[in-house]
Amino acid sequence: MNIIFKPSNVIISWGDTKRELESFISCKLISIKLIQQINDIDVQGYFNDWHDNLLENDYDHPLFDNKEMLCSYSRKSLEDRNHKWSLQMAITYVFREFLDKTRTQSSWSRSLDLSRLKRSFIPNMKQKTIVKQMIQYAVNDCLAVTKLTKLLDLT
């Protein structure tokens, strides 16, 4: 953890990294001292500003199926400065892509490496599918933040 969170590294996230990590202090997975030294960029805040600036300049979003929903969500952002865009909605708004979040509430305490499971445990097809979906969810979530970071020119 000390290597990952050393101050010379920049942690890019969607939301407040330090607040998210505080729940792991009681598990002794991370210390408050380590959390305080994290050098992080909250892309969510930058996205809100980018979005609001675009709309002030009459940004016309391309037509697609979810236009009504996105327009409503977009207006909410302008009307309420405390409104926070979800990562899923930001990806839909900018890239017209669906970010599947169905595995958000999965049991993340399990191993995702099926080849390292005990020989006595043979995963069935359903379990293998769930593990593959969890891995894909994690990859897509990280790449979504990366795509927005590039769009906003934060690196």
pLDDT in tens, 11-48: 999 999 999 999 889 888 899 999 999 999 999 999 98
**How many angstroms separate the CA atoms of 84 and 98, rounded?**
18
Contact at 8 Å (CB) between 141 and 147? no
| Cβ(147)–Cβ(91) below 8 Å | yes
Kindly report the pTM of this predicted structure. 0.75
Q: pLDDT for 58-69, tens place per residue? A: 555 554 555 566
CB 51 within 8 A of CB 24: no
